[in-house]
Structure 1
Amino acid sequence: MAEQNHEQSGFFDKPENIRKMLRVFYVICALLVIVDLIVNRHIYHDWENIPAFYAIYGFVGCVVLVLIATEMRKFLMRKEDYYDE
């Protein structure tokens, strides 16, 4: 009897599941923006009045972290056989 090679495919291996998850994330993002416009926040600084300030702040922070990490990689990176020497 020939052995059948049935690998189990994961949830994220199916494109339709990825599309469903992206739709869910987009809906959640839209709801969070709507809630941000409705909820009365107690602000301490004037720039917190900018619509979607915290989303922009978080995005810029992530971009800055990636840029800093790519620069740090230049002087922190070791050769592949660093510990073998």
Structure 2
Amino acid sequence: MCEMEKRTLFLIYYSSLLLFLLLDIALHLLHHPEPHFPWERIPGFHALFGFIGCFILILVSKSLGHYLLMREVDYYD
């Protein structure tokens, strides 16, 4: 992957995080139902929780694929 593609992907990732964070804060201010847990009172919590959860899921799946599924080039020889 070239440097320009990486930069574009990071720009997309961070701009989507910012967009969803702003949307979550706006919805939090406009319509805020009674929270069931204390952390639901934090504006932007759901957007950040989802983003961090997806990031961790990607890291775990890549590490599992690297350490459990990948074999040496001459494995079947």
Cα RMSD, aligned residues only? 2.9
Mapped partners of 1:64, 1:79: distance in 2: 26
Q: How many corresponding residue pairs?
A: 60
TM-score, length-scaled by structure 1: 0.51
Contact 2:21 2:44 in 1 (8 A): no
Counterpart in 2 of 1:58?
Answer: 50
Say which is worse superposed, 27-36 or 64-73, in terms of deviation. 27-36
Which structure features the higher share of helix residues?
2
Deviations 1:10-62 (A, max 9, x none): xxxxxxxxxxxxxxxx7776445312221022211101111101001101100
Which segments of structure 1 move beyond 2 Å, counting only runs of 4 or more?
A: 26-33, 77-80
Identity %: 31
Structure of larger gyration radius: 1
Structure 2, unmatched stretches of 5+, are 1-17
Structure 1 unaligned blocks of 5 or more = 1-25
Distance 1:47 1:34, change over 3 A: same
Q: Which has the higher contact order (CA 8 A, sep 6+)?
A: 2
TM-score by length of 2: 0.55
